């Protein structure tokens, strides 16, 4: 059987965000901007520049900027095969394109397209089915970043802990333990005060106001084999954010690991 990639996969969506095209470009096409709502990012900000997204300890995705037209269009390719631990000849690169269109009233629409070619294997269609669900919540972060923290540099805190059992049960436990309410609710989460901005599927996004301003994403997902992972990812925007992360990351880790999840 040939493993030549010829099965097309595609994900397309658009999101309206506040800001000028230049502000949106800073957020989607610079390392500082991407790191403030997505994953820690290293990028040579030019066509042909290298790109690296950090996805956790010892995990990441490498790529290259292939289209660069500020402040309108950026395209980059990631090594999909390396990311998934597959034969390099079996998969094309994973291509993502962002188009920025100014709207009247001080907003922009960002049109996002991701595409790639595979062999039609079952895991590939599963990857694409999950990709939208995994990626779209980050664009709520983008909207919140551009609404409240445009141009600012983030310090990230990210902690996860796995538990045996079902992701829904884990999410329900995590949600209740943190007292996360509906959209618009004021919450206090382990000493941090904020407002619930977005409630998604097994995911809540909180805008933090004190003691450090920022964004907090709380989530749970299935990892298979009867296990699920609970996590928090914060983007903090203040001079003392690094000290806060050093102090609070171990405490968050211990708290997540100590969650009492019903069997």
Dihedral angle sign, alpha carbons of residues 72, 42, 246, 171: positive
pLDDT along the chain (263 residues), means of 10: 80 97 98 97 98 89 97 97 88 96 96 96 92 92 97 96 94 95 94 95 96 96 91 96 95 95 82
Task: Name the fold adopted by 155-257.
Answer: Alpha-D-Glucose-1,6-Bisphosphate; Chain A, domain 4 (3.30.530)
Q: Is the pTM of this model over 0.75?
A: yes
Helix, strand, coil content of the chain in percent (nearest 5): 30, 45, 30
DSSP E strands in the chain: the ranges are 7-18, 41-43, 50-56, 59-69, 73-78, 94-102, 107-118, 155-164, 186-189, 192-200, 203-210, 214-224, 227-236
DSSP assignment of 204-247 equals EEEEEEESS-EEEEEEEEEEETTEEEEEEEEEE-STTHHHHHHH
Q: What is the pLDDT of residue 3?
A: 64
Per CATH, the number for 7-148 is 3.30.530.20
Q: Domain ranges in the chain?
A: 7-148, 155-257
Q: What is the pLDDT of residue 49?
A: 98
C-alpha 166/C-alpha 115 separation (Å) is 31
Q: What is the pLDDT of residue 262?
A: 86
Q: What is the pLDDT of residue 160?
A: 95
Which among 182, 213, 207, 181 is positioned nearest to 194, based on CA atoms? 207
Q: What is the pLDDT of residue 188?
A: 95
């Amino acid at each position: 059987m040939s493993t030549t990639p010829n099965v097309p996969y595609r994900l397309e969506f658009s999101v309206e965000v506040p800001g000028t095209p230049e502000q949106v470009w800073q957020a989607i096409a610079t390392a500082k901007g991407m790191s403030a709502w997505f994953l820690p990012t290293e990028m040579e900000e030019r066509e042909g520049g290298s790109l690296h997204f950090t996805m956790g300890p010892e995990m990441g995705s490498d790529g290259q900027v292939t289209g660069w037209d500020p402040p309108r269009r950026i395209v980059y390719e990631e090594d999909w095969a390396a990311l998934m631990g597959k034969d390099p000849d079996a998969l094309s690169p994973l291509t993502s394109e962002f188009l920025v269109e100014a709207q009247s009233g001080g907003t922009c629409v960002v049109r996002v397209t991701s595409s790639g070619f595979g062999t039609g294997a079952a895991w590939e269609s599963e990857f694409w089915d999950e990709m939208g669900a995994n990626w779209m919540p980050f664009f709520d972060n983008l909207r919140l970043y551009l609404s409240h923290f445009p141009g600012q540099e983030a310090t990230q805190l990210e902690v996860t802990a796995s538990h045996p059992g079902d992701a829904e049960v884990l999410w329900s436990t995590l949600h209740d333990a943190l007292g996360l309410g509906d959209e618009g609710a004021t919450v206090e989460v382990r000493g941090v005060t904020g407002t619930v901005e977005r409630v998604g599927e097994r995911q809540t996004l909180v805008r933090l106001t004190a003691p450090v301003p920022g964004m907090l994403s709380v989530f749970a997902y299935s990892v298979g084999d009867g296990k699920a992972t609970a996590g928090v990812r914060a983007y903090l925007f203040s001079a003392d954010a690094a000290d806060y992360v050093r102090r609070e990351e171990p405490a968050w880790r211990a708290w997540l690991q100590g969650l009492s999840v019903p069997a």
